[in-house]
Amino acid sequence: MSPESTTSAPGFAEIRTRVRYAETDQMGVVYHANYLVWMEMARTELCRVRGFRYRDIERDDQLRLAVAEVSCRYRAPARYDDEIVAKAWVAHAHPRMVTFAYEIRHELTGEVFATGETRHIMIDFNGRPVKIPPKYFSLFGLAP
């Protein structure tokens, strides 16, 4: 199953994929860093369904959304060939920082494999922090 997008409810987005052999260790258990990749995929899809793309922010505004902090709580091991759903939403935002939250679960059983958060700051191409431009407030649920 290739990743695909669905908007399941206002405020979040999901991607679906199947665990590939290359994403597992010798025991057939997903290597821990792959959960962060799936979080990124869901976060990127959330931006897309809200009308923005990362590459457009970089190209049009010369800005980047940099990861400042990551947390991931592993609850159960995902295994080779499991069908997974990674869900992302904005948990908290203000003009200087955005926190995305995630849930990764088995598509068929609903078992939660991992939950997590990433905190992001917007930076210019010189790496200096900047406030989020008002044109992106709707992306992050900020009031104008």
Sign of CA dihedral 71, 42, 120, 59: positive
Average pLDDT of 64-73?
Answer: 96
| Residue 25 annotated as catalytic | yes
Expressed in percent and rounded to 5, the helix, strand and coil fractions of the chain are: 25, 45, 30
47-59: burial string, b at 16+ Cβ within 10 Å, e else: beebebeeeebee
Name the catalytic one among 25, 56, 60, 81: 25
Provide the whole-model pTM.
Answer: 0.89
Domain ranges of the chain: 4-140
In this predicted structure, what is the pLDDT of residue 10?
A: 54
Phi/psi for 141 (5° steps) reads 75, 25
Q: In Å, how far are 68, 132, 140 from 85, measured between CA atoms? A: 24, 29, 22
Mean pLDDT within 112-138: 95
Q: 4-140, what's its fold?
A: Thiol Ester Dehydrase; Chain A (3.10.129)
